[in-house]
Amino acid sequence: MKNFHKKTIITLLSILSILQGACKKDLNLTPANQPTDATYWTTPDQFKSAASLFYNYFPTFDYAVAYLQPYDLEADYNSDFCGALTPYSESSYTPPLTNAAYTNAYSQLRTINYLLAKAQTYQGDASGIKQYVAEAHFFRAFVYFRLLMYFGGVPLITSPLTPSSAELQAPRAKRDDLVNYIIAELDAASANLLTEDQIAAADKGRISKTAALAFEGRVTLFEGTWNKFRSNATRANEMLDKSVNASNQVITSGQYQLFAPENGIALGDSTYKYLFILENQKSNPLGYTKANNKEFIISNRYDYSLRQIGALITHSGVGTPTSKFANLFLCKDGLPIDKSPLFSGYGTKASEFQNRDTRMQNMFRIPGNKYYDNNPNPRFALDGSTTTNAGIAFDPVPTVTNTGYFNNKYRTERGSADRTEAYDYPVLRYAEVLLNYAEAKFERDGSISDADLNLSLNKVRTSQRTKLPALTNAFVSGNGLDMRTEIRRERSIELAWEGLRIFDILRWKTAEIEMKTSLLGIKYTGTPYATDSRWTAQAALGTENGFLVIESASKRFFTDKNYLLPLPTQEIVANPNLTQNPGW
């Protein structure tokens, strides 16, 4: 893990000019200056170094803690789960002249296509570079899938171009054709990648065969549900069958497992929290490191010595949660708060957190509790040694947030200066594979057996980090629940703040409902908050059913056109064969 990082960083600068080139045109021109090109592509190690550059294409913590642009859909900061007001959350943006999501994607594709072209003329033994060629196919699928989710069909460019290439005037590929291409690329990658247990220790972090399958499960679930809720049953079933099959191969491979620390020593109620703040150095109560994490299938990797995250996470946070998100968490009996006798109401600032899904206490800071903070009240030093700090009183937060909730995910407990955290960003983890399987099974057949639930979703739901009763068909019918709602609930909680929320409500075609609801915070009326002067100014903005209003539904908009972002107008001017997305 660490060795792969070091090699990647050392080689990036040396190959950047070769792969990225000096041309400024967006689409896919061949790099203009290749001073060492004639001699560079002659050994497997050179292909390996070039492929290492692709790993920088993965999402980063920038998407988790804020958003880089109004149209960064990986940012849950833009979603209905966060109390932030952004151009995307308010649907107030207009077609931009340029869009980094579009421009950067084609720059990345140019680099990937160039490596694949060089592989075609490689004079050595092709078996020596097949791993890196396979990685290139994976990343080509990865980049095109991101373009698909943002824009729908886009020009399909599969080879390096020159300034006179006809492809520069290519029309948009049909959506089905683009998805079929993405799946074919993942199949090509999977055929030549190593399984996770075959990857050498120094190369841990590189894409595996099972990672490609896991990603195919995500792609086909996205496209299957996108089509299902747009009345295209034949295409939906085709994609959902593929999703079930791909996810099942990952599950039965035995290559990954939910984070459950070994040697009989458990983190108990804090298991979910520590999954996301493991570092190569010892930085938690029991001295676990990233080597103990068998759950992250694909991640953007960091290291305290080599590549710190560089974002203000512990003190800035990943956005203020809304009451909509807080209310999703079940009570310990597995029932929603409106059905469970265990729900403790809002009589105190902490009462709504009592008797709830254990993950809630890991994702929220509970008023009145004490929490360690990396500066100036850490629990650990970087080497794992325990400090004498008792933590800081937290009632309800150091500064009043707009929603009244305080996010606790991704917040380290070890002593460190700001922006020096070094845990990995989860791009795709095993819990998602389990949830993908359950959802794909249910949406394909309109039902799911208890056996399939136990194979997948219940592994998450009944784990030590969740501690909920199993979801069964009898439990659903006996309590007046809805299976689809419960499957989606589990996904929305488990994968929150990992860049999937917006894409989920887009594919379910529920964004027109979810994004238009009022953004609400804590319960204010009739609670201790109403007598706390710190909340007077926020409460003056209004309440709805007693909850603080961050923004009312009357000011929020989301229409059919918002299911896809507009293409950059500069691209349409440059290529008359491009058509704008409907409504823009």
Alpha carbon of residue 173 to chain centroid: 26
Locus of tokens 């500066």: 375
By C-alpha distance, which of 364, 374, 361 is closest to 397? 364
pLDDT reported for residue 33? 41
Helix (H, G, I), strand (E, B) or coil at 404: coil
pLDDT reported for residue 418? 86
- Phi, psi (degrees; rounded to nearest 5) at 203: -110, 10
User: Which H/E stretch holds residue 549?
Assistant: strand 547-551
Alpha carbons within 13 angstroms on the beta-carbon side of residue 62 total 12
Q: Which domains does the chain have, with CATH numbers?
A: 1-53+81-193+567-584 (1.25.40.890)
> What is the gyration radius of the CA atoms in the chain, in angstroms?
24
- Cα–Cα distances in angstroms (integers) from residue 50 to residues 108, 109, 136, 137, in the given order: 12, 13, 10, 13
- Cα–Cα distances in angstroms (integers) from residue 410 to residues 174, 278, 398, 481, in the given order: 39, 10, 17, 32
At 356, list the tokens.
């709830």
547-551: strand order across its sheet: 519-523, 547-551, 543-544
pLDDT reported for residue 341? 98
- Cα–Cα distances in angstroms (integers) from residue 252 to residues 242, 245, 547, 553, in the given order: 15, 11, 45, 45
The secondary structure of 406-452 as a DSSP string is -B-TT---B---TT---PPEEEEEHHHHHHHHHHHHHHHHS---HHH
At 70, list the tokens.
């109004």
By C-alpha distance, which of 240, 247, 191 is closest to 217? 247
Name 29's bridge partners: 161
The sign of the torsion formed by the CA atoms of 114, 120, 124, 129 equals positive
pLDDT reported for residue 36? 57
In whole angstroms, what is the distance from residue 167 CA to residue 253 CA?
40
User: Which H/E stretch holds residue 538?
Assistant: helix 536-539
By C-alpha distance, which of 506, 502, 516, 521 is closest to 555? 516
Print pLDDT tens along the chain (584 aa): 445 544 444 444 344 444 444 333 334 333 434 435 777 999 999 999 999 999 999 999 888 777 777 789 999 999 999 999 999 999 888 999 999 999 999 999 999 999 999 999 999 999 999 999 999 999 999 999 999 999 999 999 999 998 889 999 999 999 999 999 999 999 999 999 999 999 999 999 999 999 999 999 999 999 999 999 999 999 999 999 999 999 999 999 999 999 987 544 578 888 999 999 999 887 777 788 898 899 999 999 999 999 999 988 888 778 899 999 999 999 999 999 999 999 999 999 999 999 999 999 999 999 988 888 887 788 888 888 877 788 887 765 556 788 999 999 999 888 888 889 999 999 999 999 999 999 999 999 999 999 999 999 999 999 988 989 999 999 999 999 999 999 999 999 999 999 999 999 999 999 999 999 999 999 999 999 999 988 888 899 999 999 999 999 999 999 999 999 999 999 999 999 999 999 99
- Phi, psi (degrees; rounded to nearest 5) at 205: 110, -20
- Phi, psi (degrees; rounded to nearest 5) at 425: -90, 125
| Global confidence as pTM | 0.93
pLDDT reported for residue 207? 98
Helix (H, G, I), strand (E, B) or coil at 93: coil
pLDDT reported for residue 370? 86
- Cα–Cα distances in angstroms (integers) from residue 413 to residues 325, 344, 373, in the given order: 24, 29, 5
pLDDT reported for residue 316? 77
In whole angstroms, what is the distance from residue 361 CA to residue 161 CA?
52
Alpha carbons within 13 angstroms on the beta-carbon side of residue 133 total 19
In whole angstroms, what is the distance from residue 570 CA to residue 95 CA?
10
In whole angstroms, what is the distance from residue 362 CA to residue 261 CA?
17
- Phi, psi (degrees; rounded to nearest 5) at 62: -55, -35
In whole angstroms, what is the distance from residue 30 CA to residue 33 CA?
9
pLDDT reported for residue 10? 40
